[in-house]
Chain A
Amino acid sequence: MEEVNNIMEIDDDINEEDRINQLPDSVLALILSKLTTREAVRTSVVSKRWRNLFNSPISLVLDAPNMLETNKYSDMNVSQMSFWERSIVKMKRTVEIMNVVCFYLKSVKEVQKIEKLRVHFTFGNIYACILNWWIHFALERKVEEIDLCLLEDNYFSAPSEGFHVFPCDLLVEISSLKRLCLAYCVLAPGSQLSIFSGFNTLKTLELTKVDLVSDDHLQNLLRNCHDIEFLSFNICWNLHYLRIGHPICQKLKYLNVSDCPHLLAIELKGLNVETLEYKGRFIWFQFHYTPRLRTLFIGLNDWRISSGDIWPLCTLPIDLPQLETLFLENTCHMGAAMYVTRFSYLRHLIILKLHEHEHNISWIASILKCFPRLQKLELHLGMDSYVGEELKDRNCPPRCQHDQLKEVVISGMKGQSSEIEIATYLLKNATSLQTMEMDPRPRVYLGNGKWHQLEPNGIWPRTGRNKVEHYLRQHAGAAVQLLFL
């Protein structure tokens, strides 16, 4: 604090010169960490004191915007080039970043601790040894988070050779890794026989477009994830049967499986998992003793399902009677499936991407009786630009008391009659209703409790809002608060 006090006492007017140099190194290093690496390295020629300031990075962010000249490649009109020209430019760019990174890593080799390594660059398997050297460099410095995305979203993207195989062997001897995010890689530690111990400090594993090679490889990996809490598979290949059961992954709290093309079944047995989010085709689920699983997201897009199929909703109350929060996305013909089920403890129901197939949403009214303890209902209407005509001769859903329902949220409102109809139904039948919120902005669920809000649909400000408000005010009791956003 001594240093700080002295600086504070310096008179403003006298010391205009060199003010930034009064700051301690730790402050300057943090300022530089907010620049791109290329910019931070450049500051080393500002003055002698600045020469080594950039040499203590907390994170290694190795991607094109951070390491290469901003405009050097983005200005090139790659789309006009022939295949060969494009390949040469691509190779030059890859060689350049490898050179720059190697120089950079040599200049920061004294650093003792790296918190994060991030590589977002198109790398195929032919440069494996270089990339593995970077990973080794970070692991030696006790890196806690590794984030690799080895395909960029630009003209340089298409990899001409196979995906990079993540070097699991490097983790066996030294690992303090807590979070691993991989995209466009192969992750397949060892064979079935050798026990892989590299991931036993890992808490978060997020895989996107990763080739898992075989179910056995994945089992081998999961068997030693003793500390894992967050596990996510998004479009992962060669995952057929996902079996997680006692005694492995006992700390797992969140599991996400989205759009894995080969997946046939998920089997969870003796786990403490609290949230499961599944998105994709029709698969089989088996739940054996998962008593803490209280939040479930089911997003089904499978046109093989006919209206007669009652999966997955029919068996859920039997398999997971403790369920408290249920997200249903795009689950076609849900109305028919729901009549036979009863969720005794469910308190929060979220229905997403409505309107996608049918403009009639009155079935929601008829399924509400399956949720006798429902306290909060959210309806998130789809983003399609359909503008419905006034639909007449609609059968009004029968009256049914929902005495626990206190809160209703409807997003993506456009002011259509079917929306008014369901809102009116709720106002009439939810006897304990306290608030009803109407939001014209569609919401998209990103997973793990996160949402993204879009711009409102066009007709709401002009006519939708007035129409809805006019109808709903007539039916709203004094105790209900109507919120128009």
Chain B
Amino acid sequence: MSSSVEAITVLSSDGDEFKITVSAAKLSKPLNWMLEDVCFSDDCDEVPTIEVNSKTLVKVIEYCEKHAPRANSGASDSDAEELKKWDIEFMKMDVKDILFHILMAANYLHMEGLYDLACQTAADLMKGMTVSQIRKIFHIKNDFSSEEQEQLRRQHPGCSFD
């Protein structure tokens, strides 16, 4: 790629165009490979498609742009603190609606930081919840027969399942 390019254009799976700076795109290994392999200069026609829907891609790019300066240069502890607070705020937004898409996107784009953050958020939703509450939060059907359930109870005597 030519060194003059600062931002690249990518397509979401819905066909919308998005701009992402080169330094932010480097947070994702597949995007980084694309940067190395494909010509991203201005006269290049090809716009790569990222298999992530528009709604999710907006969030992913927002995360990348915020984290890129620190990932590229390394920063002080106070910056790290600030970034942590930002992460918490970032995950607060419409979590249930979009969290699973972000999880999948972070997995697909090999973005360790975002993947870890999204897993932590999902785990936090389960903390202190009863089994039936967990089922309700994530819309999971209980497909055990009552005998099977009783057997599980016996296998883990130290734990309560209610």
Q: Which residue numbers of A lie inside 8 Å of B, CB to CB?
A: 1, 4-5, 7-9, 12, 16-24, 26-27, 30-32, 34-35, 38-39, 41-48, 50-51, 67-69, 96, 99-100, 103, 107
Contact = CB atoms under 8 A, between A and B. Distances in A.
B13 A8 contact: yes
B65 to A, nearest CB: 22
A103 B140 contact: no
A12 B14 CA distance: 12
Q: Of residues A1, A8, A16, which shows the largest number of chain B Cβ atoms within 10 Å of its Cβ?
A: A8
Contacts of B51: 1, 4-5, 8
5 contacts: A9-B13, A16-B139, A42-B156, A42-B159, A45-B152
B84 to A, nearest CB: 15
Contact of B158 (A17, A35, A51, A67): A67
B155 interface: yes
A24 B107 CA distance: 10
Interface residues of B, number: 41
A27 B13 contact: no
B107 A45 contact: no
Contacts of A16: 139
A179 B13 CA distance: 45
Given A42-B161, A44-B156, A46-B135, A35 B104 contact: no
B158 A34 contact: no
Interface in B98-143: 100-101, 103-105, 107-108, 115, 119-120, 122-124, 126-127, 131, 134-135, 138-143
Contacts of A100: 158-159
B158 A27 contact: no
B149 interface: yes
B32 interface: no
Contacts of A24: 107
Contacts of A22: 100
Contacts of A67: 158
Given A20-B140, A21-B140, A31 B135 contact: no
A25 B61 CA distance: 26
A58 to B, nearest CB: 12
B52 interface: yes
Nearest to B122: A31
B123 A32 contact: yes
A47 B140 contact: yes
Contacts of A19: 100, 138-139
Nearest to B101: A8
A17 B119 contact: no
Contacts of B21: none
B134 A43 contact: yes
A483 to B, nearest CB: 13
Contact of B104 (A8, A42, A45, A47): A8
A43 B139 contact: no
Contacts of B127: 35, 39
A224 B53 CA distance: 55
Nearest to B120: A34
A42 B135 CA distance: 12
Given A23-B100, A32-B123, A34-B123, A47 B142 contact: yes
A27 B144 contact: no
Given A20-B100, A31-B119, A39-B126, A103 B156 contact: yes
A100 B134 CA distance: 23
Contacts of A38: 158-159
A42 B127 CA distance: 11
Nearest to A106: B155
B117 to A, nearest CB: 11
B53 A8 contact: yes
Given A4-B108, A41-B159, A45-B152, A17 B53 contact: no
